[in-house]
C-alpha cells in the first residue's frame, strides 16, 4: 500500500478470499486493484514493469507443473523491459519439515509454532520447494532469464546455502 500511496498503480492477485478480506480492511486498500485468482492460471492483464511474489508465495503453488505455468503466465504479462522478482526462503532454514508423501523431495509440510494475540498456534502449510537452479530452468522454459540473485534486500551476493534468495528475471532477448 506504500507504493500505491506514492502514486504507483498497484495490482494484486491472491487465491485466498480471507486474505483479500483482511487486505480490504486496511487503510488505503481501496487504491489497490485486486483479484481473487491463482497466479499460475489467471492474472491481471499487463504489461507490467515489475511483477513480484514475496515471502515464498511461489512455493505455495501446488506442484512443479503449476509453478511452471505461473512463470509462463507472469512472463507473458511483463513489458519488454519488465522484471519478475521472486523472494523465496530455503525451507530448512525457516521451520521443521516433513515429507508430505507426495512427489519425493519436492513437496513438504511446513510446520511451526507462531505467537498470536490469542496465544501460541501451530501453523502448518504445504510447500512445493524448488531450488534456485530449478527456478532458473523453469524460468528459461518460460522465456525468462536470471538477471540477478541476492541473499537479502540490500543486494547481497547470493551464495549456495544462504537462507533467502531474491531472484530477478527478465524477458530473454
Q: Kindly report, residue by residue over 46-69, the tens digit of the pLDDT.
A: 899 999 999 888 998 988 999 999
pLDDT, greater one: 63 or 125: 63
Instruction: Tell which wins on pLDDT, 36 or 56.
Output: 36
Q: In this structure, how many other beta carbons lie within 10 angstroms of the beta carbon of residue 23?
A: 16
Categorize the per-residue pLDDT at 92 as very low, low, confident or very high, splitting at 50, 70 and 90.
low
CA distances from 15 to 23, 36, 149 (A): 13, 5, 27
Q: What is the mean pLDDT of residues 147-162?
A: 94
> Which range among 39-43, 45-49, 76-80, 140-144 shows the weakest confidence by mean pLDDT?
39-43
Angle of helix 132-141 relative to helix 64-76, nearest 10 degrees? Answer: 50
5: which residues sit within 8 A by CB, 6+ positions away?
28, 31
User: Which of 67, 68, 59 minimizes the C-alpha distance to 88?
Assistant: 59
pTM: 0.82
Reported confidence tier of residue 71, pLDDT bands at 50, 70, 90: very high
**CB 75, CB 84: distance < 8 Å:** yes
Domains, in order of start, for the chain: 1-37 (no CATH), 38-171 (3.40.50.150)
- pLDDT, one tens digit per residue, over 95-112 is 444 444 444 446 767 677
Amino acid at each position: 500500500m506504500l507504493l500505491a500511496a506514492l502514486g504507483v498503480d498497484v495490482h494484486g492477485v491472491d487465491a485466498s478470499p480471507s486474505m483479500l478480506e483482511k487486505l480490504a480492511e486496511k487503510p488505503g486498500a481501496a487504491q489497490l486493484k485486486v483479484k481473487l485468482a491463482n497466479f499460475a492460471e489467471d492474472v491481471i492483464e499487463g504489461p507490467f514493469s515489475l511483477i513480484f511474489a514475496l515471502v515464498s508465495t511461489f512455493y505455495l503453488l501446488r506442484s512443479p507443473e503449476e509453478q511452471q505455468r505461473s512463470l509462463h503466465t507472469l512472463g507473458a504479462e511483463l513489458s519488454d523491459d519488465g522484471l519478475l522478482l521472486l523472494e523465496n526462503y530455503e525451507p530448512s532454514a525457516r521451520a521443521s519439515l516433513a515429507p508430505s508423501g507426495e512427489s519425493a523431495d519436492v513437496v513438504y509440510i511446513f510446520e511451526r509454532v507462531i505467537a498470536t494475540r490469542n496465544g501460541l498456534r501451530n501453523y502448518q502449510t504445504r510447500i512445493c520447494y524448488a531450488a534456485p537452479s530449478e527456478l532458473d530452468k523453469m524460468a528459461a522454459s518460460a522465456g525468462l532469464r536470471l538477471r540477478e540473485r541476492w541473499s537479502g534486500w540490500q543486494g547481497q551476493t547470493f551464495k549456495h546455502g544462504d537462507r533467502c534468495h531474491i531472484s530477478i528475471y527478465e524477458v530473454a532477448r
